[in-house]
Chain A
């Protein structure tokens, strides 16, 4: 009894800790100024945390890729002054120093203004998307009703920056990459948005905190009511995740910077700190899309089991975010790249129809929310059929003509 009470109190103290700390700093300010400083503190904290996450995500990616590929990964950079290596923990900072000190080469024929503007714009748009995600019960930086729309509008603008980079470089590889990036954006924006609509539909709101609140509670006492544990939510999450891979130009959809074909795609003519900005923006975009996926389908900051609620909500969000990011890395280490026509075909002939059907499935799910007893089984069966049958049929059509072969031998 006492232990439970202790847990509950420490839980709630930890839960509000970030807000308490902020109020300690800004509490003495007069009211109109406090609002401004509060926002600035929030933005600063977010940038610091995400920046650090970016730094160590690059290291984690290289280490994990290394381990998957049977090599140690970066491990030589010592921590300054104490000269201990600690699995290359100082590597991100060494990379940063290198990026800043490298010469910034701008091609002769490049459009100098656009060439400079592209990485800045890309980073700006990526940071903008980060603002609306609810990182915890009390940690929403920018709370307004059209958060979902805002997120995807800012997210789509990043591709404009990629096109700017490709066009301004006056390099044929960059130009090809820019074309690819645009085609990819147009193709995958649609399934991305369509997969989000059901979550909005069920919560009845475009505000992200409301969508997270709608996923609270547990059915049967243990199954979290996260969207991913419903048939439509699972399908929606997979569609969302695949589209997110494409939107953030990650393998197997990294065609705009296809290393083996276009050298470095739109990044070919970038070096030094501008290149680092692109890199940073890519990771920010990845974090933002993963955060969105967590918010929309994985219950946001909700705890997975009732007795785990004493752990603060932002920790749960962080855990879920990191696991999604690890899946991004894992996929990069294991999948080959698609070809451009296959990429667009996959979007238009497979993901878009599935996402449209998923809309209907979600509508059915929300209409039958009152069904109970044996009708529940009917509800699950119908919803599962609505997800699996189109998936099987479309999948078969998609992979028609592609099959393992048997070979004959000359004696």
Chain B
């Protein structure tokens, strides 16, 4: 027998304690795990069910996106941006278009700006609805909230399809406007969807937000401090859930956002529940923006008539275009040498940068918590791995 166990007093107790807590269990969650949201992998070291170390591993979906952007023309990159965050192709398109328009000094007609806002806010609705559904799935609801969320997502995807021809890979924005002019019928369909969306959110919230188990599972779990969030470069709903008022729609005032009345919801605790709630409240604000934008949608051209599509060669220089995507700041940095391709093409992916604080949020929590913390970060591996 271990002699230490025979000594009386504190040492004895400590030895027993150590005997129980000595062994750590290393579990590899992913890359094929039902709730890592794609091919993400977490190597988790467990003490019982508590996490003492978490090592994220990714890159399984790496496809050389940035190098690819340097080998094709400016417009050639547009469809590739769809595949970054494949839930929000419209905002990716817009951020890339803004970067190129800045580089080339290309103006955008007013109607196109309105349509862009409408599509961006629809994308935000779509993304946050999906996220809420997935998060509830991670909490252990056996599919019901996810299916409700997907029912609404499908309606938005139908709108995208009827406008751009594709449900998810929209490839819709162009430098100096949009590819297709929305028909009055499309605008009416969008108006109907926006009018009904509040009722869906009410139903969803009535079923889930006040649920005792949901609150017990998410409140105080995965707390992220405002200081760490800012230092790590976290943006979007994750940053706002920590209580930092930061929204590019307000601070950058890009597009026609200054014309719309909307508020930016802020959390106070920075936990999973706050992240969920901030997104739900953001959806309600998106509905407000959509109502205003649809009411004020002007006529006129959808493309700047002087915009050059073929033989597009911006003058030498550099530009960084960014917008407030559903997941955070999505930005594109471009360097031009006057040629048809960018000399340097760089993406600032919000879900990759938001993911860097994963271990800090997970330490001391249980395995079950790690799953919902990851779910609340809102990652799409297409964007993380590029």
Contact = CB atoms under 8 A, between A and B. Distances in A.
B215 A336 contact: no
B35 A336 contact: no
A403 interface: yes
A409 B264 contact: yes
B139 A176 contact: no
Contacts of B366: 339-341
A399 B25 contact: no
A137 B233 CA distance: 71
Interface string A321-364: 00000000000111111111110000000000000000000000
Given A173-B27, A335-B213, A402-B216, A407 B148 contact: no
A404 B205 CA distance: 11
B369 interface: yes
A119 interface: no
A254 interface: yes
B98 interface: no
Nearest to B25: A172
A338 B216 contact: yes
B25 A254 contact: no
Contacts of B212: 399, 402
Given A172-B27, A263-B33, A404-B209, A335 B141 contact: yes
Interface in B80-113: none
Nearest to A341: B366
Interface stretch (B177-185, B273-281, B330-338, B356-364): B273-281
Contacts of B250: 410
A2 interface: no
B342 interface: no
B266 A407 contact: yes
B368 A70 contact: no
A336 B368 CA distance: 12
A401 to B, nearest CB: 7
Interface in A370-411: 399, 401-405, 407-411
A71 B143 CA distance: 11
A142 to B, nearest CB: 35
B225 interface: no
B147 A339 contact: no
A336 B372 CA distance: 12
Interface in A239-270: 251-252, 254-255, 258-263
Which of B151, B210, B216, B267 lies at the interface centre, i.e. has the most chain A CB atoms within 10 A of its CB? Answer: B216
B163 interface: no
A64 to B, nearest CB: 11
Contact of A407 (B220, B245, B281): B281
B76 interface: no
A173 B367 CA distance: 11
Given A336-B136, A342-B216, A261 B367 contact: yes
Contacts of A410: 245, 247, 250, 263-264, 266
Contacts of B35: 259-261
Nearest to A173: B27
A68 interface: yes
Contacts of A407: 265-268, 277-278, 281
Interface string B137-150: 11111111001100
Interface string A263-282: 10000000000000000000
Nearest to A175: B25
Given A172-B27, A259-B34, A402 B371 contact: no
Nearest to A409: B263
A252 B213 contact: yes
A260 B264 contact: no
Nearest to A334: B144
Nearest to B274: A405
A123 B245 CA distance: 57
A315 interface: no
Interface in B204-262: 207, 209-217, 219-220, 245, 247, 250
A340 B49 contact: yes
A65 interface: yes
Contacts of A334: 141, 144, 207
A107 to B, nearest CB: 15
A405 B368 CA distance: 23
Contact of A399 (B141, B216, B220): B216
Contacts of B209: 404
B303 to A, nearest CB: 35
Contacts of B142: 65, 251, 259, 332-333
Contacts of A405: 268-269, 273-274, 277
Contacts of A338: 140, 213, 216-217
Contacts of A251: 140, 142
A368 interface: no
A339 B371 CA distance: 11
Contact of B368 (A172, A332, A339, A402): A339
Contacts of B34: 259-260, 263
A173 B29 CA distance: 9
Nearest to B32: A263
Nearest to A333: B144
Contacts of B136: 336
B230 to A, nearest CB: 15
A68 B136 CA distance: 16
Contacts of A252: 140, 213
A251 B214 CA distance: 14
Interface string B15-43: 00000000001110000011100000000
Nearest to A407: B265
A69 interface: yes
Contacts of A341: 49, 366
B267 A261 contact: no
Contacts of A332: 142
Interface string B305-348: 00000000000000000000000000000000000000000000
Contacts of B268: 405, 407-408
Closest 5 CB pairs of A and B: A337-B140, A410-B245, A69-B147, A409-B263, A336-B139
Given A254-B140, A404-B215, 10 more contacts: A65-B144, A176-B25, A176-B367, A333-B142, A334-B144, A335-B141, A407-B266, A408-B268, A409-B263, A411-B264
9 contacts: A261-B367, A263-B33, A336-B139, A336-B213, A338-B217, A340-B366, A402-B215, A405-B268, A407-B277
